[in-house]
Structure 1
Amino acid sequence: MSILEEIARERRKAVEEEKKLLSLLELERLLEERESKGKSFYQALAKEGLSIIGEVKKASPSKGIIAENFPYLQIAKDYEAAGIDAISCLTEPKYFLGKDQYLQEIAQAVSVPVLRKDFLIDPYQIYQAKLLGAKAILLIVSLLGERELKEFLSIAGKLGLDTLVECHDEEEIRCALSVGAEIIGVNNRNLKTFSVNMENSLSLRNLVPKGQLFVAESGMSKPEELRLLEEAGVDGVLIGESLMRAESKKEKLQELRSLLK
């Protein structure tokens, strides 16, 4: 069993427990009163130039603990003050040590759009994301397949949530495009082996038409890499570890942007 399958199995168990505490019907009722304000995730990425999504995460299966000291709210506020375009917040509890609480508090504290970064395998989690204050969710093609991906995109659309549809190869990009994904993300990290190859984003960029947004995920830490991606027509990058490990988020972001147009 791959780490991705293992995480998905754990999430299925956890979601069933969460449904016992708050049913989908109750969740939908709570959402009737929720109004969405501010810039959308799509708008944050569609601006001119390369957009940067800064990730808030305590740990990962490949790197272990990334931040012993984890003032998640301050990190998010520092990102916003440094001019980040959007924030990605991990809510997966076992392997990334994330919490729904982190997302909820961050979404309330910042005005930039926040993405719920998790392993979504049940429509319940989409409604949950909306209630927590997310403006967007991550959908992983290899976890869902075409039928579920189409269903999840439809639910997200009805709830006013943008979707970052994560792909790893040509076949998955074709699948994402066939169901109408508007934001395609290519993960440079292989979720089976956890090895990173930035060429993945560069080689797959041309498969996505200019009308759709393209995001490179994982493994970027140098301004030269961002310049290469910008020149290849990438719209946004999702950066986690190198920003999380930086003492000054502002200085690290300035360094990353230093070679951009």
Structure 2
Amino acid sequence: MLSELLAGAVSDAEQRRLSRPLATVEADALARPAALDALAALAPADRVKIIAEIKRASPSRGALADILDPAALAVSYETGGASAISVLTEGRRFLGTLADLEEVRAAATIPVLRKDFIGTAYQVFEARAAGADMVLLIVAALEQKTLLSLQELIRELGMTALVETHSADEVGRALDIGASLVGVNARNLSDFTLDQDLFGALADRIPSGVVRVAESAVKTAADVAHYRAAGADVVLVGEALVTSDPIRTLSEFLAV
């Protein structure tokens, strides 16, 4: 599944490149105001922090929410106390677009993550051109050389990479490239099964000074508390927010 998603995302980017060449996207990226400091926004604190996700659908759950106005939802997330906003921009299975990211960036004052299946420099320049402050890199999807080069490009553009892992080996690879924001995804991207205890099993491998992000398998405040007790600085939440009153749900989650 992961290979299919990455191949599709890269192919779609190549189609966009036909009408919007790299030089154009790079110029747009460099013309953007400086990216917001995501590491400062997500730095460890006395209470857990939330990255709130704008997500219409997923391969595992199908359609979740129409989200006709991503900007309005982003404002609700920020009002509710989210520290950052994640925007799914993958179109085939998650029904997202770069336009969603642009609308969210225009409406929000907190850092915004481009969550997609990133495999090329073109996609990184697209992210900055659309206003992203963070870009997701999935260790399992990338060779180490590519992972390193994309991380370096993200930094050169003033953004922060959220480097996603699923195993001890992948945590090691993330640390080897100097990742400062490391996520552990409870969802296996090969078969989409969930293991909520995976974060706790890997958290001690992520040193202090690196922000620890728990991803997936969050439905209730108890799930947030579970991750917080295991050492999460930040929890990324999607489905639970788009299928509920986001401000009320964020209040419950941030109270743990």
TM class by shorter chain equals over 0.9
CA RMSD of aligned residues (A): 1.3
1:206 maps to: 204
Matches within 5 A, 1:1-261: 3-36=1-34, 39-48=36-45, 49-68=47-66, 70-246=68-244, 248-258=245-255, 260=256
Structure 2 CA distance for aligned equivalents of residues 186 and 214 of structure 1: 8
Counterpart CA distance in 2 for 1:32 and 1:96 is 28
Cα displacement (A) at 1:69: 5.2
Question: Shift of residue 5 of structure 1?
Answer: 1.0
* TM-score normalised per structure 1: 0.94
C-alpha distance in 1 between matches for 2:4 and 2:92 = 11
Q: Which digits, 9 at most, give the CA deviation of each residue in 1:29-62, with x for residues without a partner?
A: 223322216x422111104121100000110000
Cα distance 1:78–1:166, how it changes in 2: closer, same or farther (>3 A)?
Answer: same
SS in 2 for 1:173: helix
Q: Secondary structure at the match of 1:256?
A: helix
Give, in angstroms, the shift of residue 257 of structure 1: 2.3
TM-score, normalised with respect to structure 2: 0.96
Higher relative contact order (CA 8 A, sep 6+): 2
Deviation of the 1:225 alpha carbon = 2.3
Give a deviation string over 1:55-77, Cα, whole Å, max 9, x none: 00110000000013543222111
Q: Matched residue of 2:143: which SS?
A: helix
CA deviation vs aligned residue, 1:208-245 (integer Å, no higher than 9, x gap)? 10111110000112222222322222110000001110
Displacement of 1:249 in angstroms is 1.1
Distance 1:82 1:15, change over 3 A: same
Structure 2: segments with no counterpart, 5+ residues = none
Q: Distance in 2 between matches of 1:171 and 1:223?
A: 30
Checking the alignment, whether the CA contact within 8 Å between 2:71 and 2:108 is kept in structure 1 is no
1:182-222 per-position Cα deviation (integer Å, ceiling 9, x unaligned): 11100001111111111011111001101111100001122
Q: Are the counterparts in 2 of residues 58 and 70 from structure 1 also a CA contact under 8 Å? A: no
Q: SS state of the match for residue 142, structure 2?
A: helix
Q: Distance in 2 between matches of 1:35 and 1:103?
A: 15
Runs of 4+ in 1 over 4 A off after TM superposition: none
SS in structure 2 at match of 1:43: helix
- The alignment partner of 1:32 has SS state of helix
AA of the residue aligned to 1:84: A
Corresponding residue SS for 1:92:
coil
Structure 1 gap segments, 5+ residues each: none
Task: Give the conservation status (yes or no) of the 8 Å contact 1:57–1:98.
Answer: yes
Distance 1:181 1:20 in 2: 32
